[in-house]
Structures are given as C-alpha cells and as structure tokens.
Amino acid sequence: MLKYFIKGLLLLGCIPVFSQSGPIDLRARDTTRYSQPYGLRAGIDLSRPALSFFNEDYTGLEIVADYRLTQRLYLAGELGNEQKTNREQLENFDLSDPTLLYEYETSGSYIKLGVDYNTYENWYGMNNSIFIGGRYAFSTFSQTLNSAFVYDSSRYWVPNAFATGSQDGVEYGGLNASWLEFLVGVKAELFANFYLGASVRLGFLVSNKEADNFPNLWIPGFNRVTDGSNFGVGYNYSITYFLPLYRKAKKGNSETSPAN
C-alpha cells in the first residue's frame, strides 16, 4: 500500500514539469505607478529689488510664474515695471570732469508670455529643471528728457563745454515696443516647494515706436537698445513657491529611476 502511495506522489510531482510549455520568466516586474505634482509656481525676481536698493537711478519689480502642462512643458511668463534714469557723458581729457551730453528717465511696464521646456532628467521625488524657453514680450512706457546739450562747432561762446540744448524736462508718452526672447535657465528646489532660479535671455526687437525727435535708448524689460542692432540681453534671479493643484500618475521604470 505504501509503495502505491509513493508512486502516486512522484506522478503528481512530474505533472507541472510536463505542463510547462514555455520558458519561465524570473525577471522582476515593477508595476508601481508614481504620481507627480502639477500646479502653479510663482514668485519674484530678486535682482530687481537688489538693484533698486543699491542704485538710486533704478526702481523695478518683476513677478514670475509658470504652470506645468505636461511632463516637460510649462506655460511661463513675467510681469514687471521699471523706472531708470540714464546719463550719457563724454570723457574730455582737457577737463577734470566729464561733459554731460544728455540725461533722460524711462518708466513703464511690460509682460512676457511663452513656454519653458525642461531638459533635465530628475530622480524620483525631485522636480528640478534645466530649461530652454521662448517669450513674446510687449512693453508700454514713456521717456522724459531732463537735460541735453548740443555741440557748437565754432566753440566761440562756450569754448570748454557743450552749449545747453534743453533743460525743460520734455516728456514723450505713448511709446511701446515688442520683442521675441530666447532663454536658458535653471530652477532648483531649496526646500519643500521653494525654488531658486536663474536665467539668461537674448531678445530680438520686433517693433519699436519712438518719438519723432528722441529715440528709445532703454526699454523696460528689454534693457539697453544698441544703435544699429535689434538684439538685447537680460537676466533674472528668481525665488518661487510651487502650489501643487493635482497629481498625475506616471508608470515607473524598473531599470532606471523615474524622471520628471
């Protein structure tokens, strides 16, 4: 009886071997789904308040924000206001002090709208970015010519300086400009939901409405306008807070860490 019982157990043990028709896959399968935060990130540009504190000729404030649309794409923009007094001086080696050619004040607001694309592969739980982006920007402003001097070729009445041309504080209003902006930058999380960012920007002037007798030499948001060129350079350093509104699931990768 015992002999038949042992034969029965051996027969049952051989059945799984014969029933296995294909190879056995022993690789681990990761079916975990990771959720990533989506929402609004907003803050201010730190460079403009700092410059306002150290430079009495400048006052400015810029609000920055972005909203995550997809895995890597963000809707982004900036809104700001700037006021700056500029002076152009001529160095004269014959005189102890430089000669002031003109002094003017520019004041206005601007808005920039566009997208940022994150090129950085984050580890799980990180949301840092190294991004490239583009903006369309528009600025409205006015300029006040505080003083100007003209060159007198005879130099008879004012032999050691320029003759006074205008000191009446003439204001030119209703000015505007638009430009395209390409930028590269980084945003790194300092601690929970707080990010420190920096970017460098190259602008190309598309339109520039000027006064009839005084050019736009400095544009809020664009910075200095170079004679004979439509290009301008800018930068910003931002501190922002991320407000998560919802989360989206992303299937994890079993071989590498998931990326944002």
For residue 60, pLDDT beyond 50: yes
Tell which CATH architecture fits domain 39-251.
Beta Barrel (2.40)
φ, ψ of residue 151 to 5 degrees: the values are -90, 125
pLDDT score, position 9: 47
Q: Which of the residue ranges 16-25, 58-67, 143-152 would you say has the lowest mean pLDDT? A: 16-25
Domain layout of the chain by residue ranges: 39-251
pLDDT in tens, 6-52: 555 455 555 444 444 556 555 555 555 678 889 999 999 999 999 99
From residue 112, how far is each of 64, 87, 106, 161, 221 by CA, in Å? 9, 27, 19, 43, 9
Whole-angstrom distance, CA of residue 95 vs CA of residue 56: 26
Closest by Cα among 113, 101, 206, 81 to 149: 101
Strands (E), 49-124: 58-68, 73-90, 99-118
Helical ranges in 35-181 per DSSP H: 47-54
SS3 (DSSP) at 16: helix
pLDDT score, position 143: 93
